[in-house]
Each structure stands twice: as C-alpha cells, then as structure tokens.
Chain A
Amino acid sequence: MMRIKTPKKGRIRRELEKRAPKLVETGKKTLILQGTKTSGLLNTVLTEIYHLKRESSVRYTRRNDNVRPFESGGETSLEFFSQKTDCGMFVFGSHSKKRPDNLILGRMYDHHIYDLVEVGVENFKSMESFVYDKKLAPKMGSKPFIAFIGEGFESVEELKHLKEVLLDLFRGEVVENLNLAGVDRAYVCTALSSNRVFFTHCALRLKKSGTIVPRMELVEVGPSMDLVLRRHRPPNDSLRKEAMKTAADKPKKKEKNVSRDVIQGKIGKVYIPDQQLGDMNLPNKAKGVKRERREAKMNKQANGHASKKQKGGSD
C-alpha cells in the first residue's frame, strides 16, 4: 500500500518546487568541501572560492574521510550531499604527499557524478596580499567577464574540459537583463602550457573614452593561482548527450494552414469535419433517442403485428 506524502506547509512545498527539474535551468549551486587532510594554503583557497561565489555555494568545513571522487565507491557521500543541498557542482580540496594542494572540480547530473577534473594549486596569492584602491572592489554577486587565452584551450582535450568546468563554476546565473553600471569583475585564465593554467581575478575600472564603449582597465584584486592539470574524467558519451539536451532542441512545428496576404493579413482555412450524426454525443438526449423508449416502441410494434396476424388467422 502506498502512501501519498505531501508537505503540510506552503514554504516546504515551494522549496521542493525550486529543487524540481525545470525546462530552463537557473544557476548551479556549488558545494565546497575538504578531504582527509588539507594544508593551510588549500584552506585559504577554498575559503576564497567560497567568497567569490558567496550566494550560490555551500561550504562544509569538516573533514570527509570517505569521499574519493575518482574511486568507484567513493562517490556515494558526494552524491548524498549533492542531493541534500541541491548542488550541481562541487569543489573538493585535499592534500597528500603524492598530490599536494589538490582540488577536484566536479559536476553532477541528476545528483550522480557527471565529470571530474583534478588540478593542483601552485603559486597562490590570496586576496589579502593584493593592494588596490578599495573603491574598485567588486561587489558580491555581480556578473563577471570571463577571458580565456591560449590555443591550448582548444587543442588539448583536458584543457577544453577544464575551460568548460571553469566557465560553469564562475559564470553565475544566466540573466536576460544586465545593468551596465554593475559590471565590475573579470576572471582571466591563460593556458601557459599544455597542462598549466594561470587563473586570476581582477576588478574592472571603466574609463572614459570617446565612444559609448568605455575603456577597460583590469586591476588584479582577488586570488591568483596556477592550476596544474592532474587527472580528469570526461563524461560518458551517452550521459553527455542526455545532459546537453535542451527544451529548444525539439524542432518547432511548422505552422500549418496559415498564410499571409498583403490585403487581408493572416489567412487560414476553416475545415469542418464530416458530422457523424449517429455517433454524436448530445448533451441533452432527445426523448425519442433514449434506448428504453426505442425498445418499448419496437416491442409494441412487434406485438401489434403479432396481434394483427392472429386476428387474420382466426378468421
């Protein structure tokens, strides 16, 4: 026997509806967590990423010993967290002798692991180490400009993947209307070699130029680090096809029977199907149509004929 469980409060119902799959998706939330051992450097990195993505990320500060994304059994915890916090991306930091200052950036599809990229952090400079005019500091939650430099991002498979993941991580919500006065940050990623990417976060200063377009000036503000590619796991082909499907993919149906005329405007023909008068469902059944009456009538006729016959026979 199944029981129907519905929330008793409207607030919970609304929360559940926010988490339901939608036709057009809004921004992904990121889960930032750490593994068995982290270094001081890694802790700072994770905190700074959390600050960069403040509104749309969740930070777990405890150690998680059983999270090993690249091993087959080690993803169950991650998937559980993703389900509970409704996060589509995660940043997992860990430190070991073999992989110092390790960051695993991963994405989820339907709360299962979709793809993973493992990078090591080198030459990290935190936000506090940069000196700049405080007025330029980018506001929280503003939509950033993202710049990718280097042919490596197109030629090397892993860098392509990393580019996609970084774009997903820092893009923020896809909005239709943007306030031009509010653009004030930019991320710059340069492919230094086939496995090293220089990543930095800058504030934008808009200077007056002769035209409508202001002159841009980048001032390094936020964390800057070198990302060294380690392992990566691309998504399954079939899973990738499914995840890339959008609602707009279905070809728009050709509008039939509509033609435009210069004189009359939009024209369409009205086709009336043949009326099956016997089969129509009438809302008010006419008295003569009702089955009982029909049958009674038929019976009476049959009786009438029989009685007539009898009369004739008796004579």
Chain B
Amino acid sequence: MEETRAVQVDLGSLMAFDSSHHFPSLPSSREELVANCLEKGTELVQAVADALFNLPSTEDVDGPIVKLPPPTTKLPREKHLPKPKPPTKWELFAKSKGIKNRKKDKIVYDEQTGTWKRRYGYDRVNDDQDLPILEAKATDEVGIDPFAERRADKKKRVEKQNKNRLQNLKQAANAHALPSHIQLAATALPITGTQAAPKKVSKDELGNVAGLAATATASGGKFDKKLPGEKKPKHEQKHRKFLPVAEGTGQGSKEKEQTDRVLNKLLSKNSHEILNVDKAVTMYNVKKEKKRSNQKRDSSSNSSKLKPQKKVQKKPFKKGSAKRGSAKGSAKKGSAKKEKSK
C-alpha cells in the first residue's frame, strides 16, 4: 500500500511530504476533514519515525540518542557567507620570508631577580621602565634625557602599530571581511545588513555629478563663469535634437529619413528571417568541422555503418533576403520594404 504513494522523507528536518495525495472531493463536515487529515498525517509521521528509529543509536542517561543526517531540503540562508579576510601586512611579510609563528609561554624566567615573571602586564620580565641606570653611549648628545627618549620611542612605536592596525582593518573593510566586534566609523550604524562604513564617492562619480549640475541651466551651462581648473563639459550641445518645423529647400526629407531609420532598426531586431550571410557561412563551416572531427574520432572506435546518418540542417535561404540584409541603410529600399510588408 505504501509503494503507491510517493512519500518524500527528509530525516534531517524530520519532515515528510506526500506529493501524490489528492482530495477527490472535500468531505462535507469539518470533523471528517480533520479526521482525514490526522489519519494521513499519522501515516506520514509513521514513515519518518520508521526511518528515524532504525538509525543506529547510542544509549545515554536520558534516552537513546541518534545521529541525524543533514537535511536534504535546502532553505535560504539568513546572512551572507562570511568573506575570507585578506592577509595583513605582517602576514604577507612572514609568508614571503618563511617566518613561522612560535608559541610563547606566559611565564618567563627573569635572570635579574631570579624569579618567574609574566611576559606581559604588571611586573613583567625585562620591563623598559625598571632600568635604574642607563649607560651613556658615544652617540648620545649631552643635553638629552635618555629615559624620556626611551619613553618617546615607545610612544612612537605604539602609534605606528596603531596606524598599521587601522590600515589592515581598512583593507578588511574594503573586502567586506571586518571582524564582527569591530566597527570603523564613528557615526551610527546605517540601516543595512552589512556593517560597512559609508562608501567614499569616487572621482568619476563626483565628476559626473558636477557635470550634471553645471549643465542644468536653460542654455546648457554655456554662459556660466568657469572655476579655475574646471574642464569643458563632455557633451557641449543640447542632448536632444529636434527636426525643423518647416523644411528648407535643397535638403532631403529629414522626417522621412528619421522614420525610415526607426523602421529599419525595428525590422532588423524583430525579424528572424533576415539572413546574415557571413554568419550563416561561418556557422555552416563550424558545423562541418565538428562533424569531421567527430567522424574522425568515431571512425577509430566505431564503424560508420553502425552509426545513424546525421542530417546537416542549413538555415533557410530566402530569395531576395540577401539584398534585404545588406541594404539596411538605404532609404529607397526601406520604403520598398514597407510596401512589401503591406
């Protein structure tokens, strides 16, 4: 009985789906309907339980524990996949030099005092500030305070380190791989999913916007005073060209030309029958080559008699269409086409 219905069971999410059930007619009363549904539901749940309880189980204090397989129905993610962090400057350098990270102990032996002290923090080994006496070197000038100099050096080192850290984080932010507990902007979070700092406007974008603003006058920005260093606008004239109301003498009918141009464009886009001779020739040649190479390959393995003969289909060649395809620009032929289509 169960084989007739196709029940899809997804063990990972404890789901059963009966896709072949069909309600021939809705039962009239509500209770009947509910009872029917519960009955069907029981069957499906039983199917899942069959698969579930047959899994190998380990005994535990609270009960038998089974290892569920991963679910088969794919559901969309809630957040994007985490992007890999770009390596920091130090990591790149270490990789190129082949420097490996060595694990350091938290407690180190201090020779001066003869005790075990911690590496960092309060009362540490080799603390810079502990030194009571500093020997003067030949390179030292007379007036400077070596202790103050040491402190200043340390401050500079710490500042440099912070600057490098900021650069690394900015790189990570560019690659959208900033660690979750770090925020780079001082302002409040924008209402977007990703915690990205607001994007800086690029030079091109600024240029575009500036151009738009400059030409947004009635005369297209032609008579405005230019700032020192400002370049000429990219498109100097107005963007739309209207045909003259009254046609002068000695000119071809511009309106006719315009409409013909539009018509040709439409026809060439929508017509599937217009034959592009060059394209058809190349396609035919390519097919021929393929057939030849296939035959070569197959004749080495099979005899050609056993294979069914393949038919090579050529594109339908319409009479007079070659003329159509090549004479797109000419207005006369276009008007002839118009009459034909009628």
Contacts and interface: CB of A to CB of B under 8 A. Distances in A.
Interface residues of A, number: 83
Interface stretch (B133-141, B147-155, B178-186, B278-286): B178-186
A147 B185 CA distance: 48
Interface string B17-31: 111111100100010
A6 B57 CA distance: 45
Interface in B183-219: 183-186, 189, 191-194, 197
Interface stretch (B62-70, B118-126, B236-244, B248-256): B62-70
B263 interface: no
A174 B193 contact: no
B193 to A, nearest CB: 3
Contacts of A168: 75
B224 to A, nearest CB: 35
A123 interface: yes
Interface string A1-12: 011111100001
B97 to A, nearest CB: 6
B42 interface: yes
Nearest to A28: B78
Contact of B193 (A111, A163, A245): A111
B250 to A, nearest CB: 54
Interface stretch (B109-117, B163-171, B298-306, B332-340): B163-171
Contacts of A178: 52, 65-66, 68
A216 B186 contact: no
A179 B60 CA distance: 9
Q: Is the interface of A mostly helix, strand, loop or mixed?
A: mixed
Interface stretch (B79-87, B265-273, B315-323): B79-87
Best-buried of A19, A22, A145, A244 by chain B (most CB within 10 Å):
A145
Contacts of B80: 21, 109-110, 242
A17 interface: yes
Contacts of A151: 19-22
Interface stretch (B32-40, B227-235, B288-296): B32-40
Contacts of A143: 14
Contacts of A245: 77, 81
A74 interface: no
Interface stretch (A44-52, A196-204, A258-266, A284-292): A196-204
Contacts, number: 228
A235 interface: yes
A20 B85 CA distance: 14
Contacts of B46: 213, 215-216
A177 interface: yes
A164 interface: yes
B17 A213 contact: no
Contacts of B17: 147-148, 153, 163
Given A2-B186, A149-B18, A243-B77, A224 B34 contact: yes
A181 B63 contact: yes
B98 interface: yes
A53 interface: no
A177 B67 CA distance: 5
B3 interface: no
Given A19-B180, A123-B30, A148 B76 contact: no
Contact of A144 (B14, B60, B98): B14
Given A80-B191, A145-B45, A149-B18, A109 B77 contact: yes
B184 A4 contact: yes
A6 B34 CA distance: 56
A110 B13 contact: no
Contacts of B184: 2-5
Nearest to B79: A21
A247 B78 contact: no
Interface string A133-164: 00000000001111111110110000000011
A213 B197 CA distance: 56
Nearest to A243: B76
Interface in A106-146: 107-112, 114, 123, 143-146
B16 interface: yes
Given A23-B82, A246-B81, 18 more contacts: A5-B186, A6-B183, A22-B82, A25-B79, A79-B191, A107-B76, A114-B76, A123-B30, A145-B14, A147-B16, A149-B37, A151-B22, A177-B65, A180-B63, A182-B62, A214-B49, A214-B53, A245-B77
30 contacts: A3-B186, A4-B165, A4-B169, A5-B186, A20-B82, A20-B180, A22-B82, A25-B77, A83-B191, A111-B193, A114-B76, A148-B18, A149-B18, A149-B41, A151-B22, A153-B17, A164-B73, A167-B73, A176-B67, A177-B68, A179-B60, A180-B52, A180-B53, A180-B63, A188-B41, A214-B49, A216-B49, A224-B34, A244-B77, A246-B81
**10 closest Cβ pairs, A-B complex:** A181-B63, A20-B180, A110-B193, A88-B78, A188-B41, A243-B76, A111-B193, A21-B79, A147-B44, A5-B183
